[in-house]
Amino acid sequence: MENQHKWKLSMWQTIILFSFLVMVVHALGTYFFDYFAGTATIGFGKMGEVTGIGMFFIYMTGYFTAIIIILPILLFKKFGIGTMIFIPYAVICFFVEYYYEWHSVQFQVLRGIWAVFGWAIVGLLIGLSADVAFRFLPYRVSVRLKSIIAGMLTGIVNFILTLLAMLFFYRSPMPVSPVVHGSFLGVAYFCLPWLIINSGFGGYTAYAISREFKA
């Protein structure tokens, strides 16, 4: 493509930069929506129950998360980049999760220390889903459509893994029958389609941006 700009960062510099962006999006999303969640906010440095609307940020950040994962994949066209973007996030997530929900709480809310590892692995699997989409979608599928599908897949995987974590990682799991109004699952009837569609738009945006650059 003519008139493409040179992407000035190396692959590893790009991975580090976009890893930082993942942490910014998730950190701001977490605390922003927790702040407006009312009962989910119990003071700075403490975390309320994850069954509340404080997990709403998962639905709202899908567009940006998809861009952050897919753009480096398109730029460097190497399998595993989506996963590698989440490695720093996973390491930091482990210690944050360990402090908030294992070490600093009066009563253990997690079923075991394995749940801390589980939360840390969630991001890696989200990135891996995009890697797998680009690797195994048929060659005849256009890069643009692959980007959209990969974006939608990151949103779906993010939702499924978060839901599984809240169902199985905690001593008091999120109730599913009946579904609690306003909970992460209780708003899924609207927010899940929103997440999938916006994640697809994120994939397309990453594709559009990548056409302006060459690595």
Q: How many domains, in total, are found in the chain?
A: 1
Please answer whether residues 55 and 166 qualify as being in contact, where contact means their C-beta atoms are separated by less than 8 angstroms: yes
Q: Which domain holds residue 114?
A: 5-214
Give the confidence band of 21 by pLDDT, cuts at 50, 70, 90: very high
Structure confidence by residue, pLDDT tens digits, 48-83: 554 445 577 888 889 999 999 999 999 999 999 999
pTM to 2 decimals? 0.85
Q: How far is CA 90 from its chain centroid? A: 11
Token pair of 180 as six digits: 């609690």
Report the percent of the chain where pLDDT is more than 90: 49
Residue 23 has pLDDT above 50, yes or no: yes
Mapping DSSP to helix (H, G, I), strand (E, B) and coil, where does residue 214 land?
A: strand
Q: For residue 56, give the DSSP letter.
A: G
Give the confidence band of 33 by pLDDT, cuts at 50, 70, 90: low
Over residues 107-115, the mean pLDDT reads: 83
Residue 153: the pLDDT is 97
Residue 183 has pLDDT above 70, yes or no: yes
State the Cα–Cα distance between residues 6 and 209, nearest whole angstrom: 12
Residue 43: the pLDDT is 52
Q: Residue 178 CB: number of other CB atoms within 10 A?
A: 7
